Structure 1
Amino acid sequence: MNPLSPLNMDRHQRVIIDTQAQEWLASPAPGVWRIPLEREAAESGQVTSLVRYEPKTHFAAHYHPKGEEIFVLEGVFQDEYGSYPAGTYIRNPPGSCHAPRSDSGCLLYVKLNMFPSADHDVFRLDTHNASWQPGIDAQVYTMPLHGFGNEQTYLVRWERNASLHSHRHDGGEEVFILSGDYHDEQGEYGPGAWIRNPAGSQHQPVTTSGCLMLMKTGHLPV
């Protein structure tokens, strides 16, 4: 993988990445590592990635011209505004600045520079203290995290042997599997799988043991 080249930026294409099989790449900050999933440029532009901080590491203070979205997967993430344990969802709006660090080490799912200019809310949510809502099926539950325009971000919890009817994602769908198993007509996916289904795609998803996932819909180009 060339760390300087664009990666998976044609969002009309379906992409599947098993992040557990990927190599961690060094960032400009010692002890901070990344697995890029989609990337516009080396250190700027739109990026989706996993980011791992070793204990007692930090990144220099920096701006996010078009915002930053974070879900803390493991450990405790910190900046000058607070400490955020695993399960915390964070939105830093366009133009925000911070100096991130982790004293104990952490693992993050991060999306950079993808906010509409009018989406300027600062938001923090500890999902362990939020409520689940019934989904479109009796065995599927959702936890809304953020919505702006057509874009919706939420956690989805599938019970054992849950399934959904075949359905279409007019604005696309992006999924990161946190735990459990998940499959559809095109494959089987386990923890750490990142799936981007383009606008207009259709599938019939199923789980056997149950599944927890981070999902975003409505944000991909038609």
Structure 2
Amino acid sequence: MQVNSDFSRTAALKTCQYQWVQSTQPGVERAMLDRIGKERARATSIVRYHPGSLFPTHTHPGGEEIFVLSGAFSDQSGDYPQGWYLRNPPGSYHAPFSREGTTIFVKLWQMQPTDKHVVRINTNDPASWTMKNGRSVCHLYRDRIESTSLQKLTENEKLFSAGYPLVPSELLVLSGSVIYNDIEYIEGSWLRLAKPDLQSVTAGNSGTTVYLKVGEFQNVSHEGSM
């Protein structure tokens, strides 16, 4: 299966454009944002667990990255309500479930094989945030390939400021909205920018918070899982 699989091209989806499909497990649906492969795929998705739904124990040979958008996500390592960031390295395994229901942002098989980092960050904790160049930032992960963070933008603020490395970038709108090519993308929208420029993305009139990943992560393309 190929969904937005040409990483030389920009892809952008509003929430109203998401197409929800049933996963292999009852009560778990997903909206595919980009995907290369079949059931075991390099994939970026929004995944929705209905209350009481689960996945059996499975491994993630290429790693898994999760951001909890609503409800509470759980596995054998604990319970993670809205705002938690989880990073499970290649070779990890778990049996995820949700008692009350949850919606999560998931990236599969997009880590380096040598990555061994297990990350758990509560982005609701003020201590997780710092000020960088006048902007509130929550750093989630960084290595030689990628930099991942949450960023809070004020009204009409440009996402990419002068001096910002203009490399491929991906963002998920967590609150408020962003304007890209004169189109407004509200909360829940996803954009993958192949060649961003300094003028390409600005916050909406009420400001915004975005998940932002920048780097050469698009070059990782293996068969994954889930």
Common fold by TM > 0.5: yes
Pairwise CA distance, 1:221: 5.2
Tell me what 1:104 maps to: 100
AA of the residue aligned to 2:210: M
Q: Aligned pair 1:182/2:183, yes or no?
A: no
Q: Which moved more, 1:11-20 or 1:89-98?
A: 11-20
Pairwise CA distance, 1:158: 1.0
Pairwise CA distance, 1:112: 0.3
Tell me what 1:78 maps to: 74
Pairwise CA distance, 1:135: 3.2
Q: Aligned pair 1:135/2:135, yes or no?
A: no
1:81-133 per-position Cα deviation (integer Å, ceiling 9, x unaligned): 11111100001110111000000000000000111011111111111123322
Q: For the residues of structure 2 that align with 1:73 and 1:219, how far apart are their CA atoms? A: 25
Tell me what 1:212 maps to: 209
Matches within 5 A, 1:32-111: 32-111=28-107
Pairwise CA distance, 1:167: 6.6
Point out 4+ residue stretches in structure 1 off by more than 3 angstroms: 163-170
Tell me what 1:117 maps to: 113
AA of the residue aligned to 1:54: H
Pairwise CA distance, 1:19: 2.7
Long gaps (5+) in structure 1: none
Tell me what 1:153 maps to: 148
Quick check: 1:58–1:101 contact (8 Å CA) kept in 2? yes
Quick check: 1:94–1:115 contact (8 Å CA) kept in 2? yes
AA of the residue aligned to 2:148: T
Pairwise CA distance, 1:169: 4.7
- For this pair of structures, how many residues does the alignment match? 215
Q: Which moved more, 1:162-171 or 1:82-91?
A: 162-171
AA of the residue aligned to 1:211: T
Q: Which moved more, 1:20-29 or 1:209-218?
A: 20-29
Tell me what 2:223 maps to: none
Q: For the residues of structure 1 that align with 2:8 and 2:164, how far apart are their CA atoms? A: 15
* Aligned counterpart in structure 2 of residue 30 of structure 1, from 18, 26, 29: 26
Pairwise CA distance, 1:201: 2.9
**Alignment TM-score, normalising by the size of structure 1:** 0.90
Pairwise CA distance, 1:57: 0.6
**Alignment TM-score, normalising by the size of structure 2:** 0.89
Quick check: 1:63–1:96 contact (8 Å CA) kept in 2? yes
From the superposition, tell whether residues 89 and 70 of structure 1 become closer, same or farther in structure 2 (CA, over 3 Å).
same
Q: For the residues of structure 1 that align with 2:166 and 2:218, how far apart are their CA atoms? A: 9
AA of the residue aligned to 2:74: Q
Q: SS of 1:120's equivalent? A: coil
Tell me what 1:19 maps to: 15
1:115-160 per-position Cα deviation (integer Å, ceiling 9, x unaligned): 1011111111111123322233x3x321100011130000011123
CA root-mean-square deviation: 1.8
AA of the residue aligned to 2:175: S
Larger relative contact order (C-alpha < 8 A, sep ≥ 6)? 2
Q: Percent identity?
A: 36
Long gaps (5+) in structure 2: 220-226
Pairwise CA distance, 1:185: 3.7
